[in-house]
Amino acid sequence: MDQLLLAPYNDSMMLGQGYNSFLQVSCIDRAIELDHSWFRRVATAAGTAGGPSQVVTCSSRLVGKASEIVRSMNISPASCIRAGAIEVPGALLSWDETKFASSDANAMISVKVVKEITSIPEDSKFIPYQEKKSMSSKDFFEVYGDCYISGFVEGGELLGLLSMKVLDPARKSAVRSMLESALGGSNSDSTKSIGLASTTLQAAAEESETTVTANWCGGGQIKLNDEEWTVERLFRSGEAFPGRIAERPQRTWAVLTPYCRNPSFAKYATTNSIVVPDFGKVHDYAHGLLDDYMGFKQNAARVQDALANPGSFQVSEASNAVEVNVQSLLQERKTIKSEMNKIIEIIDQLYVG
Evaluate if pTM is beyond 0.85.
yes
Say if residues 156 and 218 touch (Cβ distance below 8 Å).
Answer: yes
Sequence-separated (6 or more) residues with CB below 8 Å from residue 3: none
Indicate if 180 and 46 belong to the same structural domain: yes
Same domain (yes/no): 118, 141: yes
Sign of CA dihedral 70, 71, 73, 77: positive
The share of the chain scoring above pLDDT 90, in percent, equals: 63
163 and 302 within one domain:
no
- Could you tell me if 175 and 307 lie in one domain? no
- pLDDT, one tens digit per residue, over 108-124 is 999 999 999 988 988 89
> Range of 316's domain?
282-353
Same domain, 275 and 315: no
- State the average pLDDT over residues 321-330: 92
The β-bridge relationship of strands 55-63 and 147-166 is unpaired
Is the predicted pLDDT of residue 291 greater than 70, yes or no?
yes
> Is the domain of 231 the same as that of 297?
no
Q: Are residues 149 and 247 in the same domain?
A: yes
**Are both 247 and 302 inside the same structural domain?**
no
Determine the Cα–Cα distance for residues 208 and 276; give it in Å rounded to an integer.
50
Amino acid at 231: V
Q: Is 265 in the same domain as 290?
A: no
Of 281, 305, 324, the residue at which a domain comes to its end is 281
Do residues 140 and 252 share a domain? yes
Residues 308 and 241 both lie in one domain: no
The tens digit of pLDDT for each residue in 204-257 reads 889 999 999 999 999 998 887 788 999 989 999 999 999 999 999 999 999 999
Residues 225 and 303 in one domain: no
- 80 and 344 in contact (C-beta within 8 Å)? no
Q: What is the mean pLDDT of residues 268-288?
A: 92
Cβ contacts of 262-268, under 8 Å, gap ≥ 24: 262/32, 262/122, 262/123, 262/124, 262/126, 262/148, 263/122, 263/123, 264/123, 264/124, 264/125, 264/126, 265/126, 268/126, 268/128
Of 8, 167, 13, the closest CA to residue 86 belongs to 8
Q: Which of 233, 248, 281 is the C-terminal boundary of a domain?
A: 281
Structural domain tally of the chain?
Answer: 2
Q: What is the rounded CA–CA span in Å between residue 61 and residue 323?
A: 38
What are the beta bridge partners of residue 147?
Answer: 19, 258
- pLDDT score of 91: 62
Show which of 227, 246, 281 is a domain's final residue.
281
